[in-house]
Every structure is written in structure tokens, then in C-alpha cells.
Amino acid sequence: MTEPKRKKRYVPVVVRFDAEGQIQPLTIEFDERHKYPVDRVLDVCRAACQTVGGVGIRYTVRVQGKERYLWLEKDRWFVEALR
């Protein structure tokens, strides 16, 4: 069985900057009706996105109890979305 095709989807993200300048994503906004709070940031590292392309800072986050990737690439946030 093949994996579903994914695409890069740029999304607005509400963030918090701490005193050291570190970024913490708080909410991912897909549209006016679909806003998802980030329950927890699990990991932050520089990485390449193998599925949809791009290189940036990968945030491994927990949203609604599920582990997801959120990417910061050239001052824009994106997620891997189904086509």
C-alpha cells in the first residue's frame, strides 16, 4: 500500500519569544475555523523535509495528542498536508 501524496502548506502560526529569543509555537491556524493549540514542543532541530522538500527548523510538536512536524523555513511556517 502506498503512502498518500503530501504537499507543503504554508500556515499562520502564533508564537511566543522567550527572554533568550527562542521561539515557541502556540497555535497553528489553518483557517478561521481550524485553529489548533500546540500542546507541547517535543524537539527542535535543523533538518530537511524528506516528503515535500525544503530545509529549515523542524519542530516536533504534540497537537490534539498526536505527534506532528511543523517547519520554519525562511521566516515562513509550513506543515505536510494531504493533497
> Looking at the predicted structure, is the pLDDT value of residue 3 above 80?
no
* Average pLDDT of the segment spanning 32-40: 94
> Looking at the predicted structure, is the pLDDT value of residue 1 above 80?
no
* Average pLDDT of the segment spanning 75-80: 94
pLDDT band at 82 (very low <50, low <70, confident <90, very high): confident
> Looking at the predicted structure, is the pLDDT value of residue 75 above 90?
yes
Interior/surface letters 37-75, b for 16+ CB within 10 angstroms, e for the rest:
ebeebeebeeeebeeeebebebbebebeeeebebbbbee
Note the pTM of the prediction, 2 decimals. 0.89
C-alpha to C-alpha distance for 35 and 82, rounded to whole angstroms: 17
Percentages helix, strand, coil for the chain, rounded to the nearest 5? Answer: 0, 65, 35
C-alpha to C-alpha distance for 83 and 73, rounded to whole angstroms: 20
